[in-house]
Each structure stands twice: as structure tokens, then as C-alpha cells.
Amino acid sequence: MNKPILPSLPVRGSVSVPGSKSITNRALVIAALAEGVSTLVAPLESDDTEAMVDCLEGLGVRIDRWNPIWRIQGTNGTFEPVQNVLDVRASGTTARFITAIASLATAGIIVDGVPRMRQRPIGTLTKALRDLGGDVTDQAGYPPINIEGSGLNGGRIVMDGSVSSQFISAVLMAAPYARSATTIELTAVTSRPYIDQTLDVMRAFGADAGWEDQTTLYVDRTGYRAAEFAIEPDASAAVYPMAAAAVTGGSLTIQGLRRDSLQADLGVIPVLEAMGCSAEWNERGLKLIGTRDLVGVDVDMNHAPDAAVAVSVIALFARGATTIRNVPNLRVKETDRLAAIAAELSKLGAAVDERPDGLTIDPGRLRGASIATYDDHRIAMAFSVAGLRIPGVIIEDSQCVSKTWPGYFETMERYLRPAVVAIDGPSGVGKSTVSRAVAERFGWGHLETGGYYRLATLAVLRSGADPTDPVEVAPVVEAADIGIRDGVATLNGEDVTSELRSDEVTANVSAVSAMPDVRVQLVVKQRAWVAATGPSVVEGRDIGTVVFDDAPLKIYLTATAEERARRRAGDLGLAPEEFDDLIKKMRKRDEIDSTRKASPLRAADDAIVVDTSDLTIDEVVDLVAGYLDQVVA
């Protein structure tokens, strides 16, 4: 599914992010190894954690889930598999952790995943397990992996942690069930905070493990004890709301984040502060305050490499170049993230210098683009932030965010403030004139949504479908490529402006407009128009209640029926004797609009109601413009 992103005014409010993926998966593994029944509180539900649960169940672990509580029956370090092939899907974390603990199984296991998984190196881990006495083979350093359940001897080994700290974490978590104590000497390490996080979770379940010195880890043969363990909000997920606040100049509070957390991605906060943002910790969590005057930075992000994706996007809106260094492991994630970032930033107009271990981003003349996501959740979430400032950003295959945050886009839409003024009201109140004048004053786009219903009706008439039959009408409207830009209405690429007011369209537009499926489809098309256009004034009859119920400024224009009829009579050049009939028609139209089942005409609860009966057009425009000045400020 492709997702157009609506440009936003400065974001405001607070947001809850899901539980930490990295902590959830560590806690699942350790609880599965422990003696007794463990309880996890508020774990993350996502594709990655589902992959871990499935693999643990394949190893014979019982996991009962009554959200937000999961209970895991531990095995005390001995797995009795019920499957011989464990599918880790696209989860690198699962592949590494399961490979290590499967060495403790009583039968042979094969660990495999999606095709991309067979391109992600795992040789450092399999060698370490062999050095500890495990019977583990890979395919020239890559999955699939064959593991015989011979257990681990323990002892002293040397590991290179430069590719992924998860290799080290995997060995650490299995080591309490080795036959003797384990010591790991590191020749290099990346993302050290993730190792500290692993040790923290291990100790919560009773393990004796830690640092002997700066490069040496120890794990005693203690096993684990069952525990109740609460999962923190995910700092990795929190990076994207932080980025939204940063680029829009807004402020968001990320609920539940802890200043003393060991999560690596909190390392992005000093980077954002260096770019001009400010961060405030309080009892609710972290408040990130952005600025429209961001500055470029030169930063080593080895401590928080996943957050580098979001920082790369934030760099689009900074003064000067931004250089991100020492993140070579981004090349072996769900995709080669450095290459992907460079390609997609270039589409948006940036000049990008890609190096083996990083990037330099020089903001250019930015433009909208359709962003490839490479089945990578972090690419999708990070580049969605670009769309908050750049009109025309579309996130391709947006469902890939389900890997770690299935509800990401729904959450995003709750805290963003679309750069939209929604103007509603019945006919004859001056909606079109006022909305067009406000749009011109602010240099914003203007959309008169009534034209969309006429375009939809014209599409139905041209197709030969029965305009009174919803079953025939709905697929025609869904397939139609319709749009209005600079006063020109197009249907499937053809200028049809002159046909919109034809008698046939006028006679059928009410029937087509009343169909719920048609209104749903046109809401999607109208929101896509704004996403492609940028800040807009949108007018119609259900804009503030349905189409842009999230608009930060909603205006409902009204006037007495007599005044509206007087204006319309003047527009149409009607004779005085036709006036009473016009009032009746307008009242009848109001009744139809306000009582229809789909999107009835009414003022939104948070709309500002403006009675224009005794106001000139200029006075109404000045009034609305004043409200918009306050919202933008």
C-alpha cells in the first residue's frame, strides 16, 4: 500500500510508542531459558516479535498471551523442539538469538528465513558458538544454519563485534547454561549500548554477567530465574516522533521514556540538540522541542546506528551539510541502508556523498517523490517525516512498518497537524470566494471539493454505469483519475472543465454524491491532493467533519436562508418573483445535506462558526485569515 504524507504545521501534544523490540526479544529469549514461569508486561506485538515467538514455540516453549501480559513457561536451559526448521522470517534479531540458544536443544535444528536473510552475515556468531563447543554450521558465513543440540562448553573466546553487537548479545544470553563460565574478549564492538541492554535484562532474571574491563565480558554458569519484567517504550520507535517535532518546529512528549534507560537510540537526543532542538525530561517522559532553524552536524553514530536513518532525513531541513560517520553495519540490515538512504534522499533533491561507513547530506532544492522502502520499516518511518515538510512525498509499500510498529501511520496522523484550513457550510455563504481569497493571501493551495463529486459523476456517466446503482458506481469512481488544479478539472488526463456544469452532470451529481462508498473514495483522493500540493484551504460540505477532521483550523460559514437566497439570486440574475422559490429550494437542499446518512452537513464540534449574514466578503476573509495567523504561529 502506498501512503501519501500530508504536510503538517508544527506538531503538538504527546504520543505513546510501542514496547521496545530489542528488549521484548531479549526478555522472550531469557524467559524461555529460565526456570519457572515468567511474566512480560506490555511487550511489543509486531512482525519481529511474532517471528521470535513462533521460533521459541518451535523449540517447545509454551507462551500464553493475554495482552498486555505474556506468560512464558521456561525450560531451564533445555529445549525439546517440536519443529526441526525454524523460520525467522525477516528478523535479524531472531536469527541471531535463536541460532545461539538452539545449541541448547535436544535435537537438530535448521534456522532459515526470507531470501534477504541469506544475504546477512552470521559467520561471526557461528564461529563463536563453535569455539564454545557448539555443533553449528552455516553456508559460507550466511544462513541457513544447521545446529545440533550438543550444548555449549563455555570457556574463553575471542569475538569481533564490528559487524553487529547482536552476535555478542546472542552468545551472552545462551552462556548461563554453558557447562562452565564464559569469557568473551572483544577485538572490536559496535553499538555497545545494546550489549549493556542485554546484560541489564540478563541480570533482571538472575544472571551474573558483566564487563571485566572495557573489552572483556564474563558470564557465570548461573542459569536464569523466572521473573516479572516490564518492557519499556521503544526508544527506536520514539526517534520518528522526535524527528517530526524537529523538522516541523513543533513539540512532542514521548510518554514513558526513561532518562536512565540503556536503550541505544536515546543517543539520538544529543545529536538533535546539536542540530538546534531542545529536550526536556519530566515525570511523563521526554519532551522534544524542534526548530525551523536546524543546523547541519558532523556526528559519529556508531552508538545508535538505527537512528542514523532518521537523522539523515532531518538533515534535509538543516542549514549546511550533515555528515554521519562510523555506521558501516547499516549495510547489513534489512537492506543496505546507506545505499537506500542515498538513493531516496537524492530523489528528494539532496546532494548525497555515500561512503563505505557513512554519508554526507547537503540539502538541495527539495521536491516530492515516491519513496521506495526496500521492505525496511526504518526507511518507511524515517522518510514519512520528510513528507511533513515536502509536498508530494509518497511512501511505497508502507505496510512494512508492521515489522516493529504496526500502528505507526495511525499514530502519526493523531499528532500531526495537517496544513489545512477546512471551510464548510451550506450553499450561498461564500465558501468558494472566501476560501480562494484566503488561499491567495497565504500562498496556499485551494481545493473546492464539490468539483470532485461532479468529476466522479462525469466518470460514471461516461462509463455507462447506472448513476443510481452503488454497485456499478463504486468501482468506476475508485478507478477514475480525477483532479482539479489551477481551475482546470481533469478526468483520466483529459481537460473536462467545460463539462462539469452540464445538465446531465447536474441532474445526477446528488445521487452519486450520496453514496457512502463514493464519499469514502473521494476522501482518499482529496487527502492525496493536499499531500501532493502542500498547505491548502479546502472547502465543501463535510471537510471539517470527515475529509479533514484532523485540520487544525475549521471554519463553518453560515447565514440566514433569506440572505443566502438574496446572494444566489444576484449571482443567477433571477427576477424578484423567483426569490421565494429559490429560498424553498435552498432549504430543501439544506435538509437533504444535513440528514443524509453519509457525511451529513454539520459544523464540526471544534469548528469556529462564522455568521456571514451581515459581513462583507473582505470582512470574512480578514476574520478567517486572523484565525489562520494564530494557528500558524
Q: Which residues are catalytic?
A: 306
Q: Could you give the CA distance from residue 125 to residue 93 in angstroms, rounded to a whole number?
A: 12
* Dihedral angle sign, alpha carbons of residues 538, 539, 544, 547: negative
Contact 183, 156 (CB under 8 A): yes
Of the candidates 360, 356, 301, 310, which has an alpha carbon nearest to the alpha carbon of residue 332? 356
Report CA-CA distances (Å) from 576 to 347, 567, 570, 580: 60, 12, 10, 8
DSSP annotation of 19 reads B
* Dihedral angle sign, alpha carbons of residues 408, 401, 253, 633: negative
Q: Could you give the CA distance from residue 201 to residue 207 in angstroms, rounded to a whole number?
A: 9
Q: C-alpha grid cell for residue 2? A: 502506498
Inter-axis angle of helices 377-386 and 408-415, nearest 10: 20
3-state secondary structure of 180: coil
Contact 608, 555 (CB under 8 A): yes
User: Could you please report the per-residue DSSP string of 536-603?
Assistant: EEEEESSIIIIITTT-SEEEEEE--HHHHHHHHHHHHT--GGGHHHHHHHHHHHHHHHHH-SSS----
3-state secondary structure of 404: coil
Residue count of the chain = 633
Beta bridge partners of residue 482, listed in sequence order: 491
DSSP element (H, E) containing 509 = helix 503-513
Q: Could you give the CA distance from residue 104 to residue 113 in angstroms, rounded to a whole number?
A: 20
Q: Could you give the CA distance from residue 244 to residue 416 in angstroms, rounded to a whole number?
A: 8
DSSP element (H, E) containing 86 = strand 85-87
Q: Could you give the CA distance from residue 345 to residue 365 in angstroms, rounded to a whole number?
A: 11
DSSP element (H, E) containing 580 = helix 579-595
361: CB partners within 8 A, 6+ apart: 296, 312, 315, 316, 321, 322, 323, 324, 345, 350, 351, 352
At 254, which amino acid appears? Answer: I
Burial of 552 (0-12, 13-18, 19+ CB in 10 A): buried
Q: Could you give the CA distance from residue 313 to residue 6 in angstroms, rounded to a whole number?
A: 16
Contact 246, 290 (CB under 8 A): yes
Q: Could you give the CA distance from residue 16 to residue 10 in angstroms, rounded to a whole number?
A: 18
Give CA 30 to chain center in angstroms.
29
Of the candidates 611, 612, 588, which has an alpha carbon nearest to the alpha carbon of residue 601? 588
Q: Which residue bears the cell 467533519?
A: 545
Of the candidates 88, 219, 202, which has an alpha carbon nearest to the alpha carbon of residue 159? 219
Q: Could you give the CA distance from residue 336 to residue 350 in angstroms, rounded to a whole number?
A: 19
DSSP annotation of 267 reads G
Of the candidates 81, 74, 51, which has an alpha carbon nearest to the alpha carbon of residue 147? 81
Q: C-alpha grid cell for residue 71? A: 506468560
